[in-house]
Chains A and B, each alone.
Chain A
Amino acid sequence: MLIISNLSARVAGKDILKGVNLVVNPGEVHAIMGPNGSGKSTLAQVLAGREDYEVTGGSVSFEGRDLLGLPAEERARAGLFLGFQYPVEIPGVNNVYLLKAALNAKRKAAGQPEVDAYDFLALIKQKMKLMQMSESFLSRGVNEGFSGGEKKRNEILQMLVLEPRLAILDETDSGLDIDALKVVSQGVNSLRDPQRAVVLVTHYQRLLDYIVPDFVHVLVGGRILKSGDRTLALELERRGYDWVQESNAA
């Protein structure tokens, strides 16, 4: 589904990604862990198509298409979703309007008609219930005045409505209390199926207790230094990231 080959990228003149390789198949959940500044978020943003992040080398194929050749909006319509680490507040743009516009953009790209207004509202309400969000959300601006936890729930809500083929969730667990973490995890798990894949970017192994990954990768200094199954996350928790760097140097 996703094949990242030797990907390098630069942000504000600084090389951040220095040859990332990763293959994600349908049905898989991958966790990318790593210390601060290792390039995790950069990788997520580059995959989603952030234009001010300059790709300096390598290639990315998504369902057989050259992902890097597509603008951000086309990546989204092709079924790629980025759950932001810091979802931006956009006062004046209504949440529901955005959701509907996003869903219709995707449907249009797939040659489907626009969603019926009644069906759409029913869908939103059902997903909001799953995410335990209050109905006041419907009338508010995008993330406007949301707490950190509400913003993350909103990201997952958007994901549930858009049903992406590949979800990249950038530190979706940060800033969540344990109850919110459970709700968010439940949302992500509800989308797991053999046709979809999830890439979780996270600092902490805590999230992986709730969303159990098939693979864990450790990103340090812009490269994946180690990959393994979920036990790698537990080992990282015990031994810290220095251990990866040391064992790699050795």
Chain B
Amino acid sequence: MSLTAKDVAEIVRLLEESSFDELELESGDLKLSLRRGEGGVAPATVSREKTKVSEPAVVAAKPAPKGSAPTDPNAVDVPSPLLGIFYRAPKPGEAPFVEIGAKVEADTVIGIIEVMKLMNSVRAGVAGEVTEILAGNAGLVEYGEALIRVRPT
């Protein structure tokens, strides 16, 4: 994977709009570090290093998940698309949509978010294997809060 100037500009914009001061992005053999300084964001270092890791790892400029650091460094967060009540199963008493170890596709439903009796399906958005379940069943989740983690394949 390579980054164009446009990609970097887009990433800088994301950082500027976020509440974070630093962003690190690693993708394949590319590592990008951004730090906010006086007068906005300036790219600090862009380095390339040859590693055998081929799966992308993303540190998103999103509200930090409330749980611990990912147990699998290559896993990515699946953020909640809405504020609402998160349900892991289609109905009470039924089996959860996904458990740890489950294989998901981008369009696999991983849970439901209820907003005032309106049920919204949440999809994984990424293909891979579920490594962690972060959000509890029937609890309030915020917009952007990490619900589960998936190691992309």
A and B associate:
no
